[in-house]
Structure formats: C-alpha cells, structure tokens
C-alpha cells in the first residue's frame, strides 16, 4: 500500500461552491481552438522551465472505494469501475501563454491510495466554463472533476489541466485556442511527473488521453504533440475524445443558425466565439459592430473569468438571432480574414496528423450542443489518413436535461474500462 505523506505546505481547505444547473448544462461543453501549437515556435530560453512545479496543495482524500462511489454519485457518475480510494492535489506550474511568454497555470492531480507504484497517467481535458472556478482543481464532487477521480479510482494517475486563465492561472482564458490548451496540458503532465515521487509513485511513459467537448479537441491537440515528440518522456498510449466540435467552422457554427443547436446554447456560444477569437485574432473594433445594442456594452465582461455561469445565462438572449447584428451574423456564417484563418486551424484538429495509438470517438445521438456531424467528419478525416477510429454512441443519456452533458457521464466508465484493458489492469 502506498502512503501519501502530507506536504508541509499543504492546506486542507477546499471550496465547494455551487453552480446553477442551467449554467452547468450550457457551459459543460464545446470545442478546441484556433492558434497553432505554441510549443512548436517557442525559443528555448522561454520553454526550458515549462512544467516546473510551483506549488502543490492537498485538496481532499477519499479514503475508501465506497467514499469514491459516493463522491461520483453526487456528481451523477457511475462508480462501477472504482477499485481504490484516492487523494487529490492542486498543482500550480510554469507554462507559456498564447504568445510564448512565461506564465503559470493550475490543474488537478488525483492518485489512487493503493496499487502499483509505477503508474500510467490519464490526461483529461474538461469542457467549457466561464468563471475561473469552473475548472477541475476548483470544483470537488462535480461534473468537472468526476472523470479525473474515476480514472484514478481505477488505478491511473488522473491529470487534468485547468487551462490558461482558469483555476489559479492569471489573465483571461483563451477559449478554443488549441495551441495553449496543448501547452497547458503537456506542461501539467510534466508537473505531475515531477510531483508524483513525493507520493511514492512514478509516472510511466505512455499517457492515455481523453477530454470532453472543448476538451475533446484539446485532447487531440495533446495527442498530436505527444506523437510528434513534444516531450522527451511521455508518449501517447490511447486517445478517447468525447462529443467534440471538431469541425467548428465547417459544421458547428452553421448549426448555431440552422436550428440543430439548442437556441440558448447557440446564443452563448456565438457570444463566446466572437469575444474569445477577437482577443487573439482581431475581428471587430467595437462590440457594437457585431452585437445588438442591448448586449454590446456588457457582453465582453461576461467572459472575464469573474462572472458565473448564471450571470452569463442572464446576460445573453434566448437565441442567437437576438444577439447579433446583421454584420455579426454575416461574419459568423461567412468568416473572412483573420477569423477564417483561425477557424482553419481549429478545423484541422482531426485532419492534419495521423495517430499511431488506438483511437475511439465517443458521442451521443441527439447532442443538442456539439452536433454529431462533428464526430462523423472527424472519423472520416482520420479514415482518409488510414486511421481506424470507431465511433461509440453512448445512447440517450441526459445529465441535468442535457444530452451533451449526458454523453460525458455515460462515456466516462466506458473509457475507464477501455483504458484499463489497454493497460492490462
């Protein structure tokens, strides 16, 4: 049995703030992002400290498998794959921002209390949140952290980046930016590897990678980086993204206007898309150009990391048609310039590499947020490159009245089992 001595600097405080169910449903989701992988273009002087551990804080211990089952059930997740109690830490580590400059980020590391000392990591990339606390290391016993706990309770090291600007990270979150999602994920793995020996564990070379919604594309970005030799130690072992908007510009954006996406979700994602992309790839000079006057003065503030999901829901209209000016809708339906360039990078997440590791794509028929044509497109793109990527339809499972969120709940135990079988454990 592995013992876990508390860190001298550890604090056993933990916040269990509640979110409204509606906000959790709408903001559980979506995509990946527009920028090229930052790691590929960074000068060595800026990247040599990437993944260095800044701090580690013990968050909580679930001492027995029964405790884990109770924790997962409270978040709506099944506990059939639980074999170990777990211990959870928040790591803060060095990484780079969207411009390649030094910054810090945080993430959640969950380890089994029993089992083998050499341990394989499972990297989990979470879905969309708007408040900084909408991240795995800040939410105990909830939708965002439950998959990480489930993988650890099955005998893996659950590793989940909060992403830049989320959790304890400074600045705004560069939503849908695959480059920074990739560097934050890779550097979180490095920090976890540095910290693991303090708990009696050593992380093995192979990493199994999964992610939900926004995190599905982030998972593909990390998998691509690992297979390209982005780290000297880690290698990709398997890839299992869930309900991603992999073809964001070609499939997802049109769906916002075509009635295939829930109307309220469509308004939220249209707003987040324009605000987030404009921060990195200037699209408009004034929000009044793209947002109706009722929303133009306040919409950008809703995505500052300090507003909650409930505030976002209250501050956006019932449907995308009420949100955008004619110019804003034209821009979303027919992107040009920097916006179109950024979307081409986003839409290449399944098309510009050939995974050697086994891949499964998880989805739910009737997904009201990340339409399933995204998964069809991703499978086709991979197949054209000679990659067999079976699609696993998890069925009609809702979570808080959302089929999209339900896909994550239903896919998690299936992925835990598949990853475990690949590890031979």
pLDDT digits (tens, 9 = 90+) for 170-206: 999 999 999 999 999 999 999 999 999 999 999 999 9
Q: Which two tokens stand for residue 287?
A: 């929000």
**What percentage of the chain exceeds 90 in pLDDT?**
84
Per-residue pLDDT at 7 exceeds 60: no
pLDDT value at position 48? Answer: 60
The residues near 138 (Cβ < 8 Å, ≥ 6 apart) are: 15, 90, 132, 144, 162, 167
Q: How far apart, in whole angstroms, are the C-alpha atoms of residue 86 and residue 113? A: 5
**pLDDT at residue 38 is higher than 70:** no
Q: Residue 225 above 50 pLDDT?
A: yes
> How confident is the model over 118-124, as a mean pLDDT?
97
Asked whether the predicted pLDDT for residue 42 surpasses 90, the reply is: no
Q: How far apart are CA 217 and CA 215, in angstroms?
A: 5
Q: Please tell me the predicted confidence (pLDDT) of residue 117.
A: 83
Cα 47 → chain centroid: 22
The C-alpha atoms of residue 329 and residue 326 are separated, in whole angstroms, by: 5
Q: Is the pLDDT of residue 86 over 70?
A: yes
pLDDT of 167 reads 98
Q: Residue 242's closest CA among 424, 28, 385?
A: 28
Q: Which two tokens stand for residue 42?
A: 């960074």
User: Which domains does the chain carry?
Assistant: 21-247+345-423 (3.40.50.1820)
pLDDT at 230 over 90: yes
> Would the pLDDT of 131 be above 50?
yes
Strands 202-212 and 118-125 turn out to be parallel
Span 72-101, average pLDDT: 97
pLDDT at 320 over 70: yes
pLDDT computed for residue 183 by the predictor: 97
**How far is Cα 362 from Cα 349, in angstroms, rounded to an integer?**
16
Instruction: Give dist(CA 314, CA 302) in Å, integer.
Output: 10
Is it the case that residue 14 has pLDDT exceeding 80? Answer: no
């Amino acid at each position: 049995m592995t013992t876990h001595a508390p860190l001298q600097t550890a604090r056993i405080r933990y916040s269990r703030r509640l979110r409204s169910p509606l906000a959790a449903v709408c903001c559980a989701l979506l995509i990946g992002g527009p920028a090229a992988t930052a790691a590929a273009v960074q000068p060595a002087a800026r990247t040599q400290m990437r993944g260095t551990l800044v701090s580690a804080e013990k968050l909580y211990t679930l001492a027995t498998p029964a405790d884990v089952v109770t924790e997962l059930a409270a978040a709506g997740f099944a506990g059939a794959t639980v074999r170990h109690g777990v211990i959870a830490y928040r790591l803060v580590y060095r990484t780079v921002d969207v411009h390649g400059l030094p910054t810090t980020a945080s993430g959640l590391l969950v380890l089994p209390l029993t089992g083998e000392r050499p341990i394989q990591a499972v990297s989990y990339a979470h879905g969309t949140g708007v408040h900084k606390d909408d991240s795995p290391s800040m939410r105990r016993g909830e939708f965002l952290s439950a998959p990480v706990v489930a993988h650890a309770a099955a005998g893996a090291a659950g590793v989940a980046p909060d992403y830049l600007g989320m959790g304890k990270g400074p600045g705004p979150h560069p939503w849908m930016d695959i480059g920074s999602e990739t560097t934050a994920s890779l550097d979180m793995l490095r920090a976890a590897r540095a910290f693991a020996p303090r708990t009696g564990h050593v992380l093995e070379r192979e990493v199994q990678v999964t992610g939900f919604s926004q995190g599905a594309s982030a998972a593909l970005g990390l998998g691509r980086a690992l297979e390209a030799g982005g780290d000297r130690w880690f290698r990709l072992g398997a890839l299992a993204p869930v309900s991603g908007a992999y073809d964001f510009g070609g499939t997802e954006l049109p769906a916002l206007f075509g009635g295939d996406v829930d109307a309220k979700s469509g308004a939220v994602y249209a707003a987040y898309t324009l605000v987030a992309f404009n921060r990195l790839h200037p699209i408009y000079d004034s929000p009044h150009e793209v947002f109706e006057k009722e929303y133009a003065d306040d919409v950008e503030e809703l995505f500052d990391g300090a507003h909650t999901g409930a505030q976002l829901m209250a501050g956006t209209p019932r449907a995308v048609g009420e949100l955008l000016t004619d110019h804003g809708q034209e821009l979303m339906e027919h992107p040009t310039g920097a916006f179109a360039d950024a979307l081409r990078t986003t839409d290449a997440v399944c098309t510009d590499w050939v995974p050697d590791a086994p891949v499964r794509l998880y989805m739910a028929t009737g997904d009201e947020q990340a339409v399933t044509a995204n998964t069809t497109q991703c499978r086709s793109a991979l197949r054209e490159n000679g990659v067999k990527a079976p699609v696993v339809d998890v069925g009609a499972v809702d979570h808080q009245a959302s089929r999209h969120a339900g896909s994550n709940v239903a896919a998690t135990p299936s992925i835990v089992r598949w990853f475990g079988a690949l590890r031979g454990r």
